[in-house]
Structure 1
Amino acid sequence: MLNGGHLVSDEARRRVERAIAETGYVVSSSARSLATGRSGSVGFLLTESQQSLFDDPNFATLYRGAAAALARRDLPLVLMVAGTPAERAQILRYVGAGHVDGVLLVSTHAGDPTVQALLDQQVPTISCGVPLGAEERMGYVTADDRRGGRDMARHLLDCGASVLGMISGPADTSGGRERLAGFLDVVGEGHDPRLIEHADYTREGAVRATERILSARPDIDGLFVASDLMAAGALEALAAAGRRVPQDVLLGGFDDSAHAGSSRPSITTMRQPFDRISEEMVRLLLDLIDGRGTAAVVLPSELVVRESTSR
């Protein structure tokens, strides 16, 4: 009867409902799992170091959004971090044993064995960002990184930059590739390669990349950085070199994270709709768990103008 059966008299139903109200009975999740063959939970799998969970606010924002979206459906979210081979092996055993019904996969890199392992185990999975090399086999939700790169490059040029550089993300990530591709759509493939550096989405990596660009092209007067965390590092390196933002160098970031608004000066950025990304990832994953097939969603990014490009 508790599962919605109809072969029960009205009197029996009333008695059972009264007993439930009086005793505070709740359905056993373990019993329900045995009956349905499901765990009743979802995994949030971050394929980065544990420290990155604390350093990069984007990951926490995505986790909070996904947890809230699942809570509205009465499903818990299990946080899993696989930044080392040992952690990856442990988590894949856990997932493969059926302890979660599906996985929200965050921060994939090209060639990461985690993607292939989840596909081989037939674990319902939705990626945040394009899972490079598995785009046709794994669903995903992403911001329009290429268009965002184009919009930021055009904005910096429109604001007066004449020697425009970029610090892109890792070349083995979809965001790293697509934001750089958008930048090159605007400045041209023949752009001075000394004005482009790759970094690892960390503040420290951006400091070193900025120093290399300044050494090679001290005349730089505009810099697009592929994340706000890295833009904060670039701001630090520019200040150490005596270059003022925005008076000497215009600076743009990407994400619209807390770093953009709290930096001094505040950083112009491309806003990723993290709330919608989380919600869409959860929606696609639950559809996939229910057998409705996979899909991909691309959401628009939005230019947010702040002090770092306002002369």
Structure 2
Amino acid sequence: MTTRPPTLDEVALRAGVSVGTVSRVINNRRHVSQKARQAVESAVAELGYVPNVAARSLASQRRGAVVLAISSDDPALFANLFFAEVITGVNAVIEETDLELLLILAASERGRARLARVLQSRGADGVMLLALRENDPLAKVAEAGNVPVVHGGRPLDRAPRWYVDADNRGGAREAVEYLISTGRRAIGTVTGPLDMHAGVSRYLGFREAVALAGLDDHRVVHADFTEPGGAAAMARLLDEHPDLDAVFVASDAMAAGALHILRERGRAVPEDVAVVGFNDILTARHTRPALTTIRQPIVALGSEMTRMLVRVLGGEEPTPLILPTELVIRESA
């Protein structure tokens, strides 16, 4: 019977330090205290950990930097609390290592060329990709860089080796099942972009829930994960389906726009129309009324994809990770 070799995580747990510290000690990097170094060396000896030889040889050529490349060039990106929380999670793990973080907005040809230059010059050891759309050329640029690539959120058109995602489909299904449990029957949805995995998955979750309940699934308007997009979609839903008594909105930003239109049209929330969002960003707690939503662990999405990349750079082979979601009930439904 073959014994599984210990992992970096197990060495870190035994030594009582971070995975980044273990990686720095193994690769003989600086900025590690003598106490931490001794703890790691002791854990390595005790567990019989053998570093990946190929990874060790690559370590000497590393630049000590990783890239977070976002498929967006929107100047208002950092006003979007989803991205702000992801970056918070990324930075929390980066601070445990001696890596530098490079942020590249790369939806445009110029942004993608910038990423290509960084990778061609060996200016980064790995890449994290976020907000990819179907057939996004950013993925090809990253893959051509011959460095590890970790995806934040699954791409729609490929099966990457490493990714971290949330249970978008299950969360959407839970949102609609909750609306049904409160007696709503004329339920609609404002979807996200259907060239993104999250947009498609949340739409499928809506359709599954209403189908299982024997309800119609035709009250649908597609939007773009933005507040103005959510407002426009909500106005169209009300125009086309005046009988609407509930709506699942596939992001909190869009739900904020939807609530504005409902107030403008004189529809009381939740008495006339119940509303459930998705994400549980800070905005959800401060809408009028406060938004019932599906919480996905956004900060953890950033931290886990960064931790996954650190593990790959340390010679490990982590498996993809799906993070759980949770219904948060407030006043809107």
The TM-score by the shorter chain falls in which range?
Answer: 0.7 to 0.9
What is the Cα deviation at residue 4 of structure 1?
Answer: 6.2
Q: Is the 8 A contact 2:186 2:216 kept in 1?
A: no
Match of 1:169 among 192, 201, 210: 192
- Per mean C-alpha deviation after superposition, the further-off stretch among 268-277 and 213-222 is 268-277
1:74-98 per-residue CA deviation (whole Å, 9 max, x = no partner) reads 3222211113222222222223322
1:156-202 per-residue CA deviation (whole Å, 9 max, x = no partner) reads 11122120000011001111011111111111299656411111111
Map 1:181-220 onto structure 2 (within 5 A).
181-188=204-211, 192=216, 194-220=218-244
1:188-220 per-residue CA deviation (whole Å, 9 max, x = no partner) reads 299656411111111111111111111110110
Structure-1 separation of matches of 2:281 and 2:250: 12
TM-score, normalised to structure 1, is 0.84
1:188 counterpart SS class: helix
Structure-2 separation of matches of 1:89 and 1:138: 24
Match of 1:266 among 286, 290, 308: 290
1:35-82 per-residue CA deviation (whole Å, 9 max, x = no partner) reads 821111111111112324223111011101111111012322221111
Task: Report the equivalent of 1:13.
Answer: none
1:238-276 per-residue CA deviation (whole Å, 9 max, x = no partner) reads 111111111111000000001101111110011111232
Match of 2:121 among 89, 97, 115: 97
Structure-1 separation of matches of 2:119 and 2:268: 49
Task: Report the equivalent of 1:8.
Answer: none
Matched, 1:82 2:112: no
Structure-2 separation of matches of 1:105 and 1:158: 37
Query: Which runs of at least 4 in structure 1 moved beyond 4 Å after TM superposition?
Result: 2-5, 189-194
Structure-2 separation of matches of 1:175 and 1:93: 29
Task: Report the equivalent of 2:62.
Answer: 38
TM-score, normalised to structure 2, is 0.79
Aligned residues: 279
Task: Report the equivalent of 2:201.
Answer: 178
Task: Report the equivalent of 1:139.
Answer: 162
- Per mean C-alpha deviation after superposition, the further-off stretch among 223-232 and 278-287 is 278-287
Identical positions, percent? 37
Task: Report the equivalent of 1:231.
Answer: 255
Q: Which runs of 5+ in 1 are unaligned?
A: 6-33
Structure-2 separation of matches of 1:302 and 1:283: 23
- Per mean C-alpha deviation after superposition, the further-off stretch among 58-67 and 81-90 is 81-90
Task: Report the equivalent of 1:254.
Answer: 278
1:96-137 per-residue CA deviation (whole Å, 9 max, x = no partner) reads 3221111111111110011122122222111111122221x3
Counterparts in 2 of 1:127 and 1:146: CA distance versus 1, 3 Å = same
Structure-1 separation of matches of 2:140 and 2:222: 26
Structure-2 separation of matches of 1:48 and 1:128: 14
Map 1:121-160 onto structure 2 (within 5 A).
121-135=145-159, 137-160=160-183
Instruction: Point out the structure with max Rg over C-alpha.
Output: 1
Match of 2:319 among 291, 295, 300: 295
Q: Is the 8 A contact 1:131 1:138 kept in 2?
A: no
AA of the residue aligned to 1:288: V
Task: Report the equivalent of 1:305.
Answer: 329
When the two chains are superposed, the root-mean-square deviation of aligned CA atoms in Å is 2.2
Task: Report the equivalent of 1:25.
Answer: none
Counterparts in 2 of 1:191 and 1:89: CA distance versus 1, 3 Å = farther
What is the Cα deviation at residue 307 of structure 1?
Answer: 0.6
Match of 1:107 among 119, 131, 134: 131
Q: Is the 8 A contact 2:66 2:126 kept in 1?
A: yes
Task: Report the equivalent of 1:284.
Answer: 308
Structure-1 separation of matches of 2:299 and 2:224: 24
2:279 counterpart SS class: coil
